[in-house]
Amino acid sequence: MLPYKSLIHIDRSSSVSLYIQVCNHFIALITDGTLQPADRLPSTRNLALLIGIDRNTVKLAYEELISQGWTESVERKGVYVLSSLPILTKKDRHEVKTQTEKQDAFVWTNKFTHTILSKNYQKTQLAIDDGFPDVRLAPIDELMREYRSISRKFYGRNFLKYGNAKGSENLRESLCDYLSTTRGLNVNADDMLITKGSQMGIYLSAQLLLEQGDLIAVGVSNYATADEIFKQTGAQLLRVPMDEYGMDVDYLEKILKKKKIKAVYLIPHHHCPTTVTLSMERRLKFLMLAKAHKFAIIEDDYDFDFHYANKPFLPLASIDHNENVIYIGSVTKTFAPALRIGFMTGPSSFIRAATVLRELIDRQGDTILEEAFASLFKEGEMNRFYRKALKIYKARRDMFCELLKVHFANEIEFKIPEGGLAVWSVFDKAIDLVKLSDNASKNGLFIDNGLFYKNELFATNGLRMGFASLDEKEQMEACAILKKSIR
């Protein structure tokens, strides 16, 4: 008989019933090959004595094993492992394999071996992040109040059922009004799709636009996650130079004489990572080229809402009369990153196809959350929040840039951004950003190591330094730690 006294351990402090614990132990012994088909289990009396529990508890465990199909009761003989179960090889409990010796149990294609996973900012106390909003400023209480209010109303129960995959109609209408007022973008609610952030919009657009071997134009420096999304479709990235006026449209025009492209990916306001803004002259020329060469423009306008020095340029989508632009934006990039609400608009047929594809990935979003956001827009709460946040973020930008100027004049080169929530900072070549990131972490500060921003053509020793999520005291503390870490 097996040494059941050492194999079956009972935890009387557990919330799991004792008979279920015994049952689970036997299932584990069967599935790891310790018990084979037709093996006899010990009598209820013997097992009860061995492991120190009541006999009736063992009886309940055996009944559960029989009901689940693991064992069978043979009259006057006892309980046996079901004889018709497949024979399982016993695992060597002492065998330890190294990572290189381990093999996958099935064949699959891993396309993400070199992809850098996103950082977990939820466990970070003090961080110079990539340029995220300060969630302490967001009207979360008001949002949750609306959420609870809607869920308690009799009609709110309907929002718990499957709904329109395009998203809440109220939110789509509210966003249409907001885009018309702030961006001069006139769009019908039927031609808008609510997404889980702007990143889903990029993914959906790429899947519909690109196939193996297609060319998509992107900046030499670019949002790395968008690059990865495009690569996963099998498309090839056509790198276009960037300068202080954004992507070089004249360079692209020359390329178009020799090559056909399927799309251009643009971040017109506060380009990621360099924060430059695409000039109006270039915006108009991109639209002219798109019409002439029949390519799509994916306009990622995630960072439109925060401008400090002047009014923002109109998005390309607002001045596109040929329907070449797929416009992607985000609510939560300016509110709270974890509340995933984004949107995309474009030609009606394209948005319908994107909706169908979205259903295959994620049936729909959180309708009650979308309805709650719609209420905040309709009540003017979102506009009040944007005005308040804009004032605070401008002050924080000014202070952060002053700190960089005073304390890092010899280490960091930067330009004061006209908008957005981060400063593109180029460090002295003698500073190893990976080591700097490690040193800062040991000193209590998270700061990126710059690897996310690099690609096959862009290797600037720089990173985005977010200022918006840090108040004045935190900025001074962060800069003090950064100075110490550089030294």
Contact predicate 207/339, CB 8 Å: no
Q: Which residue from 341, 338, 332, 296 is spatially nearest to 192, judged by alpha carbons?
A: 341
Which of 9-18, 153-162, 211-220, 304-313 is most confident?
Answer: 211-220
Q: What is the pLDDT of residue 99?
A: 54
* Residue at token pair 């695992």: 91
| pLDDT tens-digit series, residues 386-404 | 999 999 999 999 999 999 9
Least confident of 101-110, 223-232, 335-344, 351-360: 101-110
Contact predicate 169/194, CB 8 Å: no
Residue 115: pLDDT over 80: no
Averaged pLDDT score across all residues of the chain: 91
Comparing 71 with 311, which gets the higher pLDDT? 71
* pLDDT grade for 358, boundaries at 50, 70 and 90: very high
Q: What is the pLDDT of residue 100?
A: 56
The predicted model gives 355-379 an average pLDDT of 91
Tell me which architecture the domain covering 140-383 has in CATH: 3-Layer(aba) Sandwich (3.40)
Contact predicate 127/471, CB 8 Å: no
* Residue at token pair 């006026």: 245
* pLDDT grade for 364, boundaries at 50, 70 and 90: confident
Give Cα separations from 308 to 140, 282, 320, 417 (angstroms): 24, 22, 26, 9
Least confident of 11-25, 197-211, 355-369: 355-369
Give percent above pLDDT 70 in the chain.
96
Q: Which residue from 205, 180, 174, 194 is spatially nearest to 375, judged by alpha carbons?
A: 174
Residue 152: pLDDT over 90: no
Q: What is the pLDDT of residue 177?
A: 94
Every domain of the chain and the residues it spans: 4-81, 121-133+391-486, 140-383
* pLDDT grade for 60, boundaries at 50, 70 and 90: very high
Give Cα separations from 114 to 117, 267, 452 (angstroms): 9, 25, 11
Least confident of 37-41, 156-160, 207-211, 379-383: 156-160
| pLDDT tens-digit series, residues 281-337 | 999 999 999 999 999 999 999 888 888 877 788 999 999 999 999 999 998 888 888
Q: What is the pLDDT of residue 306?
A: 86
* pLDDT grade for 102, boundaries at 50, 70 and 90: low
Contact predicate 302/328, CB 8 Å: yes
Residues comprising the chain, all counted: 487
* pLDDT grade for 93, boundaries at 50, 70 and 90: very low
Q: What is the pLDDT of residue 101?
A: 59
Tell me, which fold does domain 4-81 have in CATH?
A: Arc Repressor Mutant, subunit A (1.10.10)
Residue 80, exposed/middle/buried by CB under 10 A (0-12, 13-18, 19+)? middle
Comparing 336 with 173, which gets the higher pLDDT? 173
**307 φ, ψ (degrees, to nearest 5):** -125, 140
Residue 94: pLDDT over 60: no
Residue 117: pLDDT over 90: no
Query: What pTM value is reported for the model?
Result: 0.82
Provide CATH code, domain 121-133+391-486: 3.90.1150.10
